[in-house]
Structure 1
Amino acid sequence: MLLAIDVGNTNVVFALFEGSDIRARWRIATDGRRTGDEYATWLLQLLAMEGVERSAISRIIFASVVPRADHNLTVLAQKYFGITPIIAGQGAAEWGFEIDVEQPHTLGADRALNCIAAHALVGGDMIVVDFGTATKFEAVDFNGAYKGGIIAPGINLSLDALVGKTAKLPRIAIRAPETSSVIGRNTEDQMLIGVFWGYVAMMEGLIERMKAEIGRPVKVVATGGLAILFDQKTDIFDVIDADLTIRGLQILADRAGET
């Protein structure tokens, strides 16, 4: 089995693969100070609950946008599984596609993995949208080359800024509004309209501009937990895959095993 680990700014996602199928997935809050021993205490219990022996794991791959976590995940792999992990973007697990931007080395691991997975699963010219701590928009051409993108504040960051910088506005939950009205009748509804419909308008506007600039038919692929929420109120997405980043790790691990 393959253990794939995606370290984001907010959460670390662990996924257990049998072939190309995800058998289990777990997540834990990102903390760069968390040691390999702490990861192991948590993970080994979850594996046991799933009925999986640690010896069943033969490969481990991880990608990280939190450099401080890299050493601790390497310790986890080596000390508790006896495996030298594959690190996404390095050695045999190089990205394997053209990064056609001014500073190729600055492309985040999560964004690269989304490009790999979307190209493998969907193909053609694409815009890949990932709803995370930040919302990223990636332009990927029909050859799988990364042509550039957009980074915008995530919707929760926007809400945090709104609430944190005002004295009387309450904390609200992000959800789809019950109506399509954009004229709120109370403070909480007005906040939800501003955050939710404002975010939808931002996405629709940026994607429309990206499509016009690309100038060819484009499919829009979305990932991240909020993709399904927004899909209730907009028709801009052609494909939604909540596991896109993790699937990119699985594809990369298989490629690395073939070299």
Structure 2
Amino acid sequence: MILVVDIGNTNIVVGVYDDDNIVGSWRMVTRSEKTSDEYGIFILNLLNYNNISQKDIKSAIVSSVVPNVMHSFENALKKYFKIEPIIVGPGTKTGITISTDNPREVGADRIVGLVAAYHMYGGPLIVIDFGTATTYDVLTDKGEFKYGITSPGIQISADALWQKTAQLPSVELKKPSSILAKNTITSIQAGLVYGYIGQVEYIVNKIKEEMHIEDMKVVATGGLGRLMADETQAIDVYDSQLLFKGLKIIHDKNIKSN
């Protein structure tokens, strides 16, 4: 079995593959102050609760955009599972080419998502990850990542609205039945959700226009991706497990090359 881990700014998502099947996935809040023992015991408890033996975990791969967490998390895997994890980064075989101005600046999660989408759909394509930030990444038909756009995530926008205003409340992120709001709650929801749908559609259309490619597959992932994918035709596919799939693909490429 393979442990696949994506460490994001908000959450750490852990999954287990048995051959090509995901047999479990879990989410924990990202906290840089946790020790390797806390991470190790937490993962062990998750596995035990789901009747997965620690001894069955033979390999692991980790992508991370939070450097402060990596030392403790990597040591947890070494200490509790006796394995040296593959860390997605420079030198990792991915099957795609990073052609941005500074490839080392590209977050590992973005690479992983592109790898999965390219493997499943080919290029050209756009991968949108609705995470803490929302990223729009463009891959050519030859598997070349050249362009990326980053915007504040919809949750960040919602948090900023209620934190920076005296009378506006925190609201549930959902689309109201009409953009013509009659109260404070639905007016905030309308502005956030309809506004974000508009952002997605404009950016996707602008990418296609400037790339001079109308037929580009648009693949979405991330915690709030389902909300957006259900409300706009600009997104072709929503895959909540895109990063897990990308991690598995990268893991297999690097294991076979060793």
Coarse TM-score class (shorter-chain normalised) = over 0.9
* 1:169 counterpart SS class: coil
Are the counterparts in 2 of residues 132 and 154 from structure 1 also a CA contact under 8 Å?
A: yes
* 1:174 counterpart SS class: coil
Counting aligned pairs with the same residue, the percent is 38
* 1:245 counterpart SS class: helix
Are the counterparts in 1 of residues 3 and 14 from structure 2 also a CA contact under 8 Å?
A: yes
2:155 aligned partner, one-letter code: N
Are the counterparts in 2 of residues 176 and 230 from structure 1 also a CA contact under 8 Å?
A: no
- 1:188 paired to 2:158: no
Are the counterparts in 2 of residues 138 and 149 from structure 1 also a CA contact under 8 Å?
A: yes
Are the counterparts in 1 of residues 94 and 253 from structure 2 also a CA contact under 8 Å?
A: no
Q: How does 1:4-153 map to 2 (within 5 A)?
A: 4-91=4-91, 93-153=92-152
List alignment gaps of at least 5 residues for structure 1.
none
Are the counterparts in 2 of residues 176 and 232 from structure 1 also a CA contact under 8 Å?
A: no
Are the counterparts in 2 of residues 101 and 147 from structure 1 also a CA contact under 8 Å?
A: yes
List alignment gaps of at least 5 residues for structure 2.
none
For 1:43 and 1:74, locate their aligned partners in 2 and report how far apart those are by CA, in whole Å.
12
1:98 aligned partner, one-letter code: T
* 1:13 counterpart SS class: strand
TM-score normalised to structure 1 length: 0.96
For 2:82 and 2:143, locate their aligned partners in 1 and report how far apart those are by CA, in whole Å.
34
Are the counterparts in 2 of residues 61 and 86 from structure 1 also a CA contact under 8 Å?
A: yes
For 1:97 and 1:28, locate their aligned partners in 2 and report how far apart those are by CA, in whole Å.
29
In structure 2, the residue matched to 1:219 is: 217
1:133 aligned partner, one-letter code: T
In structure 2, the residue matched to 1:233 is: 231
TM-score normalised to structure 2 length: 0.96
Are the counterparts in 2 of residues 12 and 30 from structure 1 also a CA contact under 8 Å?
A: yes
Measured after TM superposition, the shift of residue 90 of structure 1 is 4.5
1:257 aligned partner, one-letter code: I
For 2:223 and 2:100, locate their aligned partners in 1 and report how far apart those are by CA, in whole Å.
28
Alignment length, in residue pairs?
Answer: 256
